[in-house]
Structures are given as structure tokens and as C-alpha cells.
Amino acid sequence: MKDKVIVITGASSGIGKALAFAFGREQASIVICGRNLESLETVGAELRQNGINTLCIQADVSQEEDVKKLIDATIRQFGRLDILINNAGITMRSMLLDVDPNVIRQLMDINFMGTVYATRYALPHILKTKGSIVGISSIAGFRGLPVRSGYSASKFAMNGFLEALRTELLHSGVHVLLACPGFTTTNIRFSALNKDGQVAGETVRDESKMMSAEECADHILNAVKRRKRDLVLTTEGKFVVFMNKWFPRFMDRMVYNSLAKEKDSPLKRA
């Protein structure tokens, strides 16, 4: 990673922040973006204090012009782009019958279209360096999760988009990694949107039993170094992906019963 230039979207907390430190420790130059300028600059200061060359750009990935400016600023500053990590994302928690459809549109705009915009504008530069495009997806991109239909849809869309892109770029030398962390200790559940699009402000799962963002980032760093095709993390995540492929009807019941145990779950316990 020495002297490579890495763009990480949604890097003001969680996995994005951990990735900035993981790649930065390998002597890469790091470009981070986020919607909250104060949080973004705080992370940027921490990175610089650790000797990491950092550029902070306030950007909302759901806005095409913001993303274009992010990539343009990276090229002006460093003259190249080696790795794009599409990490920005939000989630939701609501039954489809209750949710305002605009909540799902918002998830698609950030989680999916944000990936499309960033990848589209970064691609000409990554083709020159034969670098990497990384999508931070989810187990929900392989197995639809009840009460999180919009989130699952956005991650399924990301998975299909990056798989198609990988095939388009088959003879280009560009590496495409689809990383699926499973449940990880990040802020994403605390900022989950409810049926009306309001931030819930609390998690419904036991965060202490999850993989840390730092451990997740280390796995992703190693996968990029090895130019892996796919990365599915945690024992639970690997189990769900495997079982859903071969025993989907059984997994319908298992996933339902598991998520029905969450705090204040709208799912009825069997």
C-alpha cells in the first residue's frame, strides 16, 4: 500500500474510519469523505496525528456532483487514484407495510447510487493504476432480512452492480472486491431510520458479541492485498450465506425467528 492513494466514502466513523487507519498504517495516502464536517475533521486530525497523509472532503454520496468533486479533488491533490472503497451507507428498521417509500428511496440513493457515482467517476483513474474497487456490502446482500427490506434491496443492488462491473473489467487488470462484514460494531444501527425516516438512536442488538470495526478493516486490507474476489466475514455470516444457497426455505424460518428476538421487533415470535 506504500504511496498508494485510497478514497474511502463514509469514513467519519465505524468501518470507514477503521479502514482509514488500517490503510494509512501501510503508508498509503488517505482521502476520506462524509456528510458531517465536524466528525470528518475530527477523524482527519486523528489520522494526521498518527502520521497518515490525509485529505478530508465533505460530500454526500447520494449527490452526484458531490461525488464528482470528491474524485476531482483527489486527483488535484495526489495526481492518481489506486483504490476506491465504497463504504458509505445507512440502514432502516420497519415493516414494509408501515414504511414511507421515501425511506427506501433514501437508502437506495446512498447505499446503491452512491456506489454507482463514486465508481463511475473513479474508474478512469483506477484503470490507469490497475487498482482496486471495493464495495462494503453485507450479508443482507445475499439473504434478505425482514424489517430491513430497503437495506437488503440496496445491498443486493450493490452486489449485482459490482459483479457486473467485475466481468466488464475482466481483462483490464482492475481488481473488484465485494466485502460482506456481517454484524459489526459500528454506528449504523444507532443511526437506522424508522418507518418515517427519523433516526432511531439506539441499537436493537447486543453489540458486545459482534466483530469490531478494526478487526473487520484488517480483513478487508488483507483481501485487497491478495486481490480477492469476495470476502464474507464472521462464522454467522458464512453460515447464513452457505445455508441460504442450499436450504432457502429452512433459512426463511431461521432468519425470521432470529430477528423476531430483537428488542421491540415487529415480527411475531413463532
| Beta strands 5-8 and 29-34, pairing class | parallel
Whether 178 and 230 have beta carbons less than 8 Å apart is answered as yes
User: How is residue 67 written as a grid cell?
Assistant: 461525488
Side chain identity at 47, as an amino acid letter?
A: L
Of residues 117, 121, 151, 256, which has the active-site annotation? 151
Give the CA angle between residues 127, 133, 137 to the nearest 5°.
Answer: 160
The secondary structure of 34-53 as a DSSP string is ES-HHHHHHHHHHHHHTT--
The verdict on whether 151 is a catalytic residue reads yes
Instruction: Let me know if 11 is exposed, middle or buried by CB neighbors in 10 A (0-12, 13-18, 19+).
Output: buried
Q: What whole-number distance in Å separates Cα of residue 239 and Cα of residue 85?
A: 25
Give Dmax (Cα) for the chain.
58
Neighbouring residues of 181: CB distance < 8 A, sequence distance ≥ 6: 15, 136, 138, 211, 216, 233, 234, 237
Report the alpha-carbon distance of residue 6 to residue 269 in Å, rounded: 45
Which residues does the annotation mark as catalytic?
151
